[in-house]
Chain A
């Protein structure tokens, strides 16, 4: 599993650690953790709608912050639960640029076995680091 929930970081909210051999894999793992926080059966979220997201930031960690925040935005604004199918990150002149392909479907409470609504990504203990040949993120979600 490229992510795991970590109860020791947060009592009231939901904390997870995610991993990836590349930055792109890390972002995909983090999106999967976010989806799993909201839906107990993320595998039942069908890939019926596709959309592309373009984001940029000077900091890689804040790019992940914005990316996860975008997924939360679509959950409220379009009632979409989304998988991150493909993520591409490029760094040019000190700016990280992301292009992601997302797919999913409208929330179906029964079929997706919903858990808890995520309000926001917090910056509490938030980090993206590289070590032991892999990328790791620590994320606390406000629920």
Chain B
């Protein structure tokens, strides 16, 4: 693909599009990627990142992370901070799956102990964690109770017996976005999501049993601090979000912002998916409060899934989750907007950071870190394809320019239909089993769409984040079992 001629190399991992690239740009765009990944990005990435740069109140740069690809509104991997007083909030800068994110849980089991039980484990997980189109969860929840869930996130899970106190400490924002207001969410949104707590969904969402092999440990001391202490230690990683509830919140406010964006607030519309409202406007504040509800649903969803995972391991190994060392490493979102303090032009300022397919990556000693990670920096979880593995990384102080943000995944390079033309789901399942990865799926077609060949090389993406000073590699985790929606 030919790159925009205006693109200027700032360093080996930073590329800049000046404000002259497109009329209306208020700040330049910066793509954080080595040349190899940059050249693979679709033209749409540059246009979408430039559209973001046109939004009122944007600060410094419109960024795109190394795993960036063409999305809608913001590119996937898009990051932008806005002045809360003069800037906007946009559902297109967060994504429909609000608080889609990653969670990683340890065990003290080794691959040698888990391999003989892998079929049993994956089969049980597949029954315990509903996957696929329109799936519903095991939590019996009325619409009224659901309103408490979305205002309290993981705190509701703790009250209800689905969480340990330390789980909340090891979750971004303690598993609850303060200021969530259920009254800002439509009945339709509640109706879509109230019975989906504890469900995975489909697409690229998964729950995976992984191994930390000694040869894949990049930083032993940090790995130890994160709880990876045994050779061939087994961990569980999963990826999912706020399900139908979050999707409906985003849809509702996308439509509501379209009605007021230009007529009431005079903001020029470059792309309807970038519909926005001034952050301090009634519409902007209502969306922010509703988005927080969806974020809390995302945390509660992942917390209940963790509860189910602990139950399954406990049943199969006939040991308690505590005895199995099933402690969380961390839970981090990659689709949110948050008010955060950052150093802007030498001054600490509160800014509204949008991250769409991008992970917060706090460096050592920063506020917001659990005490146990004060010296290491925040655990960053980057999910790869189900065939190639994933990464646990650590946040870096040098990520300040991107508002302490790094990549979130491999990023697709091939459409779903193309992948399905090239791969047969049943055959892929068999091939993966031959390679030591036992998979259960609710859809062979869906499985084929998620084949490893449809994604960028996760090793290249993880290395790129390290070279760019966004996050440093701690350990690569390889799959031995997987459930897919």
Residues of A within 8 A of B (CB): 5, 7, 10-14, 38-40, 62, 65-66, 69, 72-73, 75-77, 79, 107, 109, 113-117, 119-124, 126, 140, 142-143
Contacts and interface: CB of A to CB of B under 8 A. Distances in A.
A31 B444 CA distance: 23
Contacts of B70: 10-12
Contacts of B247: 72, 76, 119-120, 142
A122 B72 contact: yes
Interface in B391-421: 411-418
A116 B416 contact: yes
A79 B244 CA distance: 11
A7 B96 contact: no
Contacts of A143: 202-203, 416
A119 B243 CA distance: 8
B8 interface: no
Given A114-B442, A117-B485, A76 B134 contact: yes
Interface stretch (B19-27, B189-197, B377-385): B189-197
A109 B449 CA distance: 17
Contact of B244 (A76, A113, A122): A76
Nearest to A7: B415
A13 B454 CA distance: 12
A11 B414 contact: yes
Nearest to A125: B72
B271 interface: yes
A122 B444 CA distance: 26
Interface of B: 42, 69-73, 76, 95-97, 132-136, 188, 191-193, 196, 201-203, 243-244, 247-248, 250-251, 254-255, 258, 271-273, 275, 411-418, 442-446, 449, 485
Contacts of B250: 120
A114 B72 contact: no
Contacts of A113: 443-445
Contacts of A140: 72
B271 A117 contact: no
Contacts of A65: 255
Contacts of A72: 247
A73 B137 CA distance: 17
B203 to A, nearest CB: 5
A140 B415 CA distance: 12
Given A77-B192, A114-B442, A120-B251, A12 B133 contact: no
A124 B134 contact: no
Given A11-B42, A109-B133, 9 more contacts: A5-B417, A12-B71, A75-B134, A116-B443, A117-B201, A119-B96, A123-B273, A124-B72, A142-B95
30 contacts: A7-B415, A10-B70, A12-B71, A12-B76, A13-B72, A38-B133, A40-B445, A73-B192, A76-B247, A76-B248, A79-B134, A107-B133, A107-B134, A109-B132, A109-B442, A109-B443, A114-B443, A116-B445, A117-B202, A119-B247, A120-B96, A122-B96, A122-B273, A123-B258, A124-B71, A124-B73, A124-B271, A142-B72, A142-B97, A143-B203
Contact of A11 (B193, B243, B413): B413
Contacts of A10: 70, 415
A14 B133 contact: no
A25 B456 CA distance: 39
Nearest to A106: B134
A119 B97 contact: yes
B133 A75 contact: yes
Contacts of A12: 69-71, 76, 411-412
B290 to A, nearest CB: 15
A110 B444 CA distance: 10
List the 8 closest A-B pairs by CB distance, nearest first.
Answer: A124-B72, A76-B244, A7-B415, A123-B272, A117-B202, A76-B192, A120-B96, A119-B247
A40 B272 CA distance: 30
A143 B241 CA distance: 12
Given A12-B70, A12-B412, A116-B203, A76 B273 contact: no
Given A7-B417, A69-B251, A73-B188, A126 B272 contact: yes
A73 B72 CA distance: 21
Nearest to B418: A7
B412 A77 contact: no
Contacts of A76: 134, 192-193, 196, 243-244, 247-248
Contacts of B442: 109, 114
A62 B443 CA distance: 31
